[in-house]
Structure 1
Amino acid sequence: MSTPARRRLIRDFKKLQQDPPSGCSGAPCENDIMRWNAVILGPEDSIWEGGTFKLTFQFTEDYPNKPPTVKFISKMYHPNIYSDGSICLDILQNQWSPIYDISAILTSIQSLLCDPNPNSPANSEAARLYQENRREYDRRVQEVVEESWKG
């Protein structure tokens, strides 16, 4: 069954394969184009370097008029990521636009890792450490990076 959302997802997937953003990849689940798995690598020269973080995307038939639900399935420690893996990111909420595609979402999430917004915390402890004790914050992130190697 071809719907506008599914056609757009196929187009996004082709673009992602032809011109993948650096350190990001994603693909639909085997039998369901509305569900995707993605991977973001921790950006080089950052405290996230070396990490391999897995995410899921859940699209609805309203895509691209409504954003997908994106969650980390890897354990994360970040001011803008909830304990359930949900991401507090403006383009996934009130700043969404149909011009965003999967590449843009992945790139935005990857840059959020290094550039958190502690004023809109999803994890208040991580936000507090990020602002008040950067060394301890960096150590906790390093634990998450090392944990990402296991699975």
Structure 2
Amino acid sequence: KPSLDKYNTGAVLQLSMKYTEEYNSVPPTVTFNTIPFHPNVDQHSGRPCIDFLDNPKEWNGKLTMSSILLTIQVMLSNPELENVLNVEAAEMLKNNISLYRQMVIQCVRTKQKRQITTVSFEDYHRMWSGIATSKAAEHFKAPCKMICQI
């Protein structure tokens, strides 16, 4: 079974972990925001194929966020060809491992080159003030004035 340590050496992949009110009885929903080229990750949804995340009967309430992340790290470095979600990645891994490794490296590099745009506080505040479902109390809008008046 090939080891793909490239995912462990400098790759930055973002995940989302969503916990419901039923957590710790059911697992969180885990998806990659930056989807890696990997046989065990759905290329469209970013969902990893991990038995205890996919099947609530396999879930153990004693599993922590750290253990989930460690399992994902191990999965990335040790792809399984039995639980395939990305057929193209699985076929490439099986038939041409050097091309597969190139795709993994290219994927990692592409994800690292993403553009990050900055937003001024004023723009951020204006945007969120417009869509917020609750508004700040008047005395919190200018906290310096409140502190100075005390």
Deviates more, 1:105-114 or 1:126-135: 126-135
1:81 equivalent to 2:51? Answer no
* Residues in 2 aligned to 1:132 and 1:125: alpha-carbon distance in whole angstroms: 11
Superposition TM-score, scaled by structure 2 size? 0.67
AA at the equivalent of 2:5: S
TM value normalised by structure 1: 0.67
Matched residue, 2:69: 106
Structure 1 outlier segments of 4+, above 3 Å: none
Instruction: Deviation per CA, 1:2-22: give whole Å up to 9, x if none.
Output: xxxxxxxxxxxxxxxxxxxxx
Code of the residue aligned with 2:54 in structure 1: it is Q
Equivalent position of 1:70 in the other structure: 30
The aligned counterpart of 1:91 is 52
Residue matched to 2:145: none
Structure 2 contact 35–41 (Cα < 8 Å) conserved: no
Which secondary structure state, in structure 2, belongs to the residue aligned with residue 145 of structure 1? helix
Does the 8 Å CA contact 2:34/2:46 hold for their aligned counterparts?
Answer: yes
Secondary structure of 1:108's aligned partner: helix
| Paired letter, 1:121 | V
Conserved? CA contact 2:17–2:28, under 8 Å = yes
**Structure 2 residue 5 is matched with structure 1 residue 46:** yes
Equivalent residue, structure 2, for 1:23: none
Cα distance in 2 for partners of 1:70, 1:112 equals 13
Query: What per-residue deviation string (whole Å, max 9, x for no partner) do you get for residues 15-40 of structure 1?
Result: xxxxxxxxxxxxxxxxxxxxxxxxxx
Question: How many pairs are equivalent?
Answer: 107
Q: Hey, what does 2:20 align to over in structure 1?
A: 60
Pick the structure with more strand per residue: 1
Secondary structure of 1:53's partner? Answer: coil
Q: Which residue among 91, 97, 106 is the counterpart of 1:134?
A: 97
Larger fraction in helix? 2
Give 5+ residue unaligned stretches, structure 1. Answer: 1-44
RMSD between superposed Cα atoms in Å: 1.3
Once the 2 structures are TM-superposed, how far is the Cα of residue 93 of structure 1 from its aligned partner? 2.0
